[in-house]
Amino acid sequence: MRVVLISGATGGLGSRLAHAFDAEGYRVVVHCFRSEDEAWSLLAGLKNSPYLLRGDVGDSGQVRRMALSVERDVGRLDVLVNNAAVTRDAPLLRYPESAWDEVLRTNLKGVFNCTRNFVPLMIGSGGGHIINVSSYSGLRGKEGQAAYSASKAALLGLTRSLARELSPYGINVNAVIPGYLPVGIGAAAPKAMEGAVKASIRGCLAVPADAVGFMTWLARTEGITGQVFPLESRT
């Protein structure tokens, strides 16, 4: 049975991805940090022997221990979805250094930690696919989101570099920009949602089911690597 690990799996997009991969026959490794109750609730709705991981992706030691747990208890890894992210929004001149560090630590260093520690298991499984979840803020920037935009822009460069580096091992690496989704972080920011609708060519928010469908398709597709896929066009 193929195995997928989704970091930040209890969020709006992550939980939908977990259910979609489970429906396609994957064993889902559900990662959470603080939301353990939500994680257990998510696991209860999955059928294919899901596995729970809890830890801080920004802490290299914790991620190393998580990787050892998956190797010991699950035995393989085919797909890694780097989805865990936080945002702390404020104008740059009033932006706390601690908030900057927290966002970069989770959104960028977290991807570095997860990729570096889980790739050996993927290599041992015969290859696979890494999908990094980025954002339109990383492409165009957004006022009040200096740290978030910087982290998501850096993720695109990391994706392209890793695609070149990991290709010899049969590992594809791509980034997906799902658009502004009215779930999770997005649902908590009504003004941002209004702005996203105005910026959209189609005049509407992105659809979570469309993003999930594309990402599960990408995970099982060979020969595509080093690409950035914006799923909802913007003006």
User: Which residues are known catalytic residues?
Assistant: 148
- Phi first, then psi, for residue 94 (nearest 5°) are -115, 15
Residue 194 burial by Cβ neighbours in a 10 Å radius (0-12, 13-18, 19+): exposed
CA dist., res. 91 & res. 153, Å (int):
18
Closest CA to 173 of 124, 119, 135: 119
Q: What is the DSSP letter of 130?
A: E
CA dist., res. 113 & res. 62, Å (int):
9
H or E element, residue 38:
helix 36-44
Q: What is the DSSP string of 172-209?
A: EEEEEE----SSTTGGG-HHHHHHHHHHBTTSS---HH
Residue found by looking up tokens 């659809």 in the block: 207
**SS3 at position 6:** strand
